[in-house]
Structure 1
Amino acid sequence: MDIWTAEKIILLGFLLKGVCCRDFSISLPQNIQALSGSCVTIKCRFEIQEQYDKNLTESAAIGLWFKDGDKMNDHLVFHSTDPQPNCFNGKITGNLHEKNCTTIFYNVSSKHTGRYYFRIESGDLKYFYTMNTSINVTDSPPKPTVQLYVEQKEVQDQEEVLEGRSVSLRCSAETLCSSPPPTLTWSSTPRIPLSESSGLEELISDLNFTATHRQHRVTFTCTITYQLQDETKTAQDSITLHVQYAPKISPSSSCTRTDVTVCFCEADGNPSPELEWHLSGHSVTNSSNMFISEERLSSTGLRSSITLHQSFTHTSTLQCVSNNTHGTASHQFNLLHSTPQVSGFHHFSFLLGVAGGASVMMIICGILLICARRESNTRRDDGTELILAHREDESGPDCANNAMLSPTGSVTQNHEELHYTQPESEEIRGISSLTTDYAVVQHYPGGVSEAESSTGGDQPNSSIAAVVMSEKNQTVQEQEAKMGEVFSQQSEDTTYENINI
């Protein structure tokens, strides 16, 4: 026998061995987690001996599941074509004639916990597989897992993240059977639902951002949520971010001045920074002329203050310098423009108060003056009015000056005209029984004839009518009598006569 014949015999033996050795087998997960109140899926595939391939048809194939044993009456929990009263509610989602025995059980509870065995029946094909799977039903879903990635590299626990680096937080969770499917939720992001078409056994959500000092010691939480028929069940995992960053000086750092100048400076950094004071560009420490103190605000914050006596305030600048392993920051104070805060008497406040008080008094006085004028005008309207007018007609009483008439009764031509001024109404005082008034009267030689008093003559200003109105209860005749007594005087001198009304 040559070498080629030997090789052919060996190859044929391997082929025959492969055909003859195809036996019954099954593929099942070793353990399955299930959530009480939801569903559970058993992924399953099986093999049969070649001689039974013709018996495995779509119409004849039956799948059965047994729990904790192989006895038909005691341990059967599922029948694909003939559901039993005590069997579990479920169905085989795979095609048995394609050797896919994947099965789903609904509304699982603690009684579903146990070991499960599969049996295939199709015509003459009847086989019970001894390999089994274990189902464990719990009341709470398994918690997700959060991992930290920096620049796409996984970071182990307790490692720091440098500010400005690209950070990714990945949340992953094993998805249990549920309808609707579970969701993952970050503490600051919307829910990311599981796509039913993805077929993923693990739900993943990534949170990407650039690390800043504001995220130092911030805890990020990922929560998986199962919406069941009667309740909602959740589980979560968290990670706290540790960010390292260069010092940052607070903008509230400032100076105040009383008898001495006090400046304070606050800095924040990770690792915790140090603070120094520079006066005129030189570092300073405690001395008899200045006092420096520090106060720890937090694990990353520091506050320092410096007290300068008056002899140092001529220096134009004071600088606060902070540094740590990641950088340096500084803040400059201008001492010449620092706002003094002097306790005690404040001249500007006093002047402002005086001006405000004077303004209020002026307003009050103005209001009182207006009220007084209105009251005075009201009283004048109720008093007596004096009206002096030229005689326009002959209906009223005539008063003639005797000095203006000749002995024959004619009017003297060379006379001085008598004028009466019309005063403004504001200048006329009201007359009452308690008021004394003075009238100006000019006398001319001669007497007044009856002709003058009756005709009035042809000369201008030959007749003068004087009407004096006194209190409302006095008559016009009484006023004329008083005026006649005044005109009877025989003097050219101006006479002031007291008229008592």
Structure 2
Amino acid sequence: MSSPLRTPMAGNQITCFIFISSVLGHAHSADDTYFVMPQTVTALTGSCVQIPCTFNISNFEDNLKIKIYGIWLKNKSQYASKDSFIAFNSSENIIRGFSDITMTGDLNERNCTTVFYNIMMNHSDRYYFRLEMEPNVLRATFNPNPADSSNTVRINVTDSPQPLELEHSKLQYVMEETTVNLSCSAEAPCPAQPPKISWSNIPESARITTQLQEKPDKTQSVFSYMTFKASYKDHKKNISCTATYPRNTPNDSTVEGTFMLQVLFPPKETHIIITPSVGTNVTLTCKSKASPSNDLNYTWYKRGPETPIAWGKKINLTRTHNQTASYFCIAQNKHGKQSSEDVQLTDERQSGFSHLVIYGCTGGLLAFVLLSAGFFYCMRTKASRQAHVTGKDQAEDKNRDMMAIYVNNDIVISKNGEKKETDDLHYGEIDFSKLQIGHKTREHPNNGPVTEYAEVQVTERKRQINSVQQMDKLYAEVQKK
């Protein structure tokens, strides 16, 4: 006898029936008999898929000593039908159509969770779980209502991962310095090979934690949580979350989710730009960052009275002759305000005169240095030349006074002025300091022979000087008469 038992389940879990094909020895009521597994699981080609499964049967504790077996049927729930396809039978160790199927749950603990490995596209179908308790205690197929086959346990196989879930709906606008909690989750149909989640373009203060969690329907997902303090620098930043799925294919599969962070903050980095940089008529532009920026307003001030002189992002001014003025602007939105630094406007002609004075002084100083250097160089060159000439003259005089003279024949000057030569050699002393031009004769009062001093003229100086070493000893041959 068979009777359908219906028990409503919450969430994404199916409403199950138990089709009792044969019950021997014990009676079971609908109040304490149920079966829980998700309506649909999505698998990725080349990976595995886990089907979470639990059950409860009345008086189950009384049958713990008996053998319990699990069977998975594909497409049809009729176990005895010739068209039925038994993908897995733990009692006979049968695996058909798959590379491997493992029941990771303990049937004695009412857990029938099963993992199907190396999923292919042709594995997309409805699957039914059958429980057998031997010997001949219970044989039951957990079967959804045949009239509503859409609630069967179905495995959908895809080539691409499921989209990520980013919780950012409440983060469209966050105030500066507010602590932000952001989460990114990716389905993990194969918990043995969960996806790896990574973040990009994250704030500097971000802290990230990642963990595998079970959802209400007993399927699992990888959740990554990021916490940071919002900064104005993160405004309009595209933060991305990427999940990478490993699988038995040449390439891994990835899926990405991105959202733009909107940060609210008062004006920042307020400053003034002057265009053109030179000239009499100029335009001052006040620049600032703020969010929101559509209600940003600007007020201009001149140092001195400190009263507003203009409103708006830009103002046009004329430089005043011989005067210098300082200006600043204040940017403001509903979250606050900020003042810029001062800028000074000086008359262009006054500034030009100052530049001419500076350039003139610099040029005069440079010319003076160059002239001084030239004068010093000339004086030094002239002194060097004079020293060279003086030294040369002194050397010539010394050589002239200390030359060696050698006379082969004596020269005798008689009273009548005749010059005679003699073969006799006589030695005399020559005083070079008393040499004079012309001839001189000294006569003894008694008309006797006297030693004559004469000036020796050297006509062939180069031939007669053989060595500088003969300078210290000079000899002359003089004939006495």
Q: TM-score range by the shorter chain?
A: 0.5 to 0.7
**Corresponding position: 1:78 with 2:94:** no
CA distance in 2, matches of 1:214, 1:338: 39
Select 2:68's aligned residue among 61, 77, 82: 61
CA distance in 2, matches of 1:314, 1:400: 89
What CA RMSD, in Å, does the superposition of the two structures yield over aligned residues?
Answer: 5.0
Runs of 5+ in structure 1 lacking a partner?
Answer: 1-17, 149-154, 286-291, 295-302, 411-448, 455-464, 478-501
Change (3 A) 1:51 1:213: closer
**Corresponding position: 1:116 with 2:146:** no
CA distance in 2, matches of 1:123, 1:261: 101
8 Å contact kept, 2:38–2:219: no
Q: Give the deviation of 1:228 after TM superposition.
A: 1.9
Runs of 5+ in structure 2 lacking a partner?
Answer: 1-25, 145-151, 407-429, 467-481
Deviations 1:162-184 (A, max 9, x none): 22222222222332215432122
Select 1:388's aligned residue among 393, 398, 401: 398
**Corresponding position: 1:210 with 2:224:** no
Q: Give the deviation of 1:40 after TM superposition.
A: 0.6
Deviations 1:188-228 (A, max 9, x none): 37985545999982322222222222111111111122122
CA distance in 2, matches of 1:38, 1:330: 60
CA distance in 2, matches of 1:172, 1:197: 12
Select 1:225's aligned residue among 244, 265, 269: 244
Deviations 1:28-54 (A, max 9, x none): 211112122111111112334649953
**Corresponding position: 1:306 with 2:316:** yes
Q: Which residue of 1 aligns with 2:13?
A: none
CA distance in 2, matches of 1:51, 1:333: 86
Change (3 A) 1:161 1:25: closer
TM-score, length basis structure 1 = 0.61
CA distance in 2, matches of 1:111, 1:28: 22
CA distance in 1, matches of 2:40, 2:387: 111
Change (3 A) 1:346 1:467: farther
CA distance in 2, matches of 1:240, 1:336: 42
CA distance in 2, matches of 1:376, 1:114: 119
Q: Which residue of 1 aligns with 2:179?
A: 166
Q: Which residue of 1 aligns with 2:477?
A: none
8 Å contact kept, 1:386–1:469: no
Q: Which residue of 1 aligns with 2:299?
A: 276
Change (3 A) 1:197 1:241: closer
Change (3 A) 1:337 1:408: farther
Q: Which residue of 2 aligns with 1:3?
A: none
Select 1:201's aligned residue among 217, 220, 231: 220
**Corresponding position: 1:245 with 2:265:** yes
Deviations 1:398-440 (A, max 9, x none): 535268x994689xxxxxxxxxxxxxxxxxxxxxxxxxxxxxx
Matching residue's letter, 1:399: F
CA distance in 1, matches of 2:458, 2:329: 96
**Corresponding position: 1:325 with 2:334:** yes
Q: Which residue of 2 aligns with 1:181?
A: 194
CA distance in 2, matches of 1:206, 1:143: 17
Deviations 1:354-398 (A, max 9, x none): 766786798799899999999999999999941428989998875
**How many equivalent pairs are there?**
385
Q: Give the deviation of 1:239 after TM superposition.
A: 1.8
Select 1:156's aligned residue among 170, 173, 191: 170
Change (3 A) 1:43 1:197: closer
8 Å contact kept, 1:163–1:244: yes
Matching residue's letter, 1:147: E
Select 1:139's aligned residue among 123, 139, 159: 159
% of aligned pairs identical?
22
Q: Which moved more, 1:355-364 or 1:123-132?
A: 355-364
CA distance in 1, matches of 2:161, 2:382: 91
CA distance in 2, matches of 1:252, 1:95: 74
Matching residue's letter, 2:170: Q
CA distance in 2, matches of 1:95, 1:468: 142
CA distance in 1, matches of 2:118, 2:254: 18
Q: Which residue of 2 aligns with 1:34?
A: 43
8 Å contact kept, 2:53–2:112: yes
Q: Which residue of 2 aligns with 1:494?
A: none
Change (3 A) 1:399 1:135: same
CA distance in 2, matches of 1:450, 1:162: 133
TM-score, length basis structure 2 = 0.63
CA distance in 1, matches of 2:230, 2:143: 55
8 Å contact kept, 1:77–1:88: no
CA distance in 1, matches of 2:444, 2:139: 172
Select 2:434's aligned residue among 401, 404, 407: 401
Q: Which moved more, 1:178-187 or 1:348-357?
A: 348-357
8 Å contact kept, 2:173–2:264: yes
